[in-house]
Amino acid sequence: MVMYLIIFHGLLAVALLGGITHQAMSVAWPSRSKDGIVRSFRAVNSSVYTNANIVLYLVTATLGGIIYPVYRVGVRTFLEDARLNSAVGSFELKEQFIAVGLGMLPLYWMLWHRPPEADSKLARTAVTLILCAIVWYSFVVGHVLNNIRGLFGL
């Protein structure tokens, strides 16, 4: 059962990664032209991703919270025994970053549901980029830890 939840957690994270990266790129580095894959990637209607990103963030974090005890009891103990301190620390940081991101979600929603004024444009870009960075970091750390035995030949 846990294995299915981890796979589902990973799939949701991929969807969130796509949505938040599209939005972050389009707000930080917008493009009007859709010539080529990079410009097309940036030329999306960024506001349509907001609700989906919030739901995906909440559901992915909740699923992560459900499977977290398995990591805490089995995986972390193994990592500590193997003296993989950086791996343990990376997950500790992931845990804290996700929590900080959770607190930013109401503001993120507000900034994308009001007309872009001069003062809110910077805040909108910053909040979106922070959430994007949190999601990317969490995804990479989760993925590496999930495959750590194979990656490090343990």
> Closest separation between CB of residue 63 and another protein, Å?
14
Binding residues among 54-73 for another protein as defined by CB under 8 A: 65, 68-70, 72-73
User: Per rule CB under 8 A, is residue 7 in the interface with another protein?
Assistant: no
User: Per rule CB under 8 A, is residue 116 in the interface with another protein?
Assistant: no
Of the candidates 16, 10, 6, the one whose C-alpha atom is nearest the C-alpha of residue 67 is 6
Q: Which of 4, 33, 36, 103 binds another protein (CB under 8 A)?
A: 103
Of the candidates 89, 93, 102, the one whose C-alpha atom is nearest the C-alpha of residue 62 is 102
User: Per rule CB under 8 A, is residue 145 in the interface with another protein?
Assistant: no
Binding residues for another protein, per CB under 8 A? Answer: 65, 68-70, 72-73, 76-77, 85-86, 88-90, 92-93, 95-97, 99-100, 102-104, 106-107, 109-111, 114, 119-120, 122-123, 126-127, 130
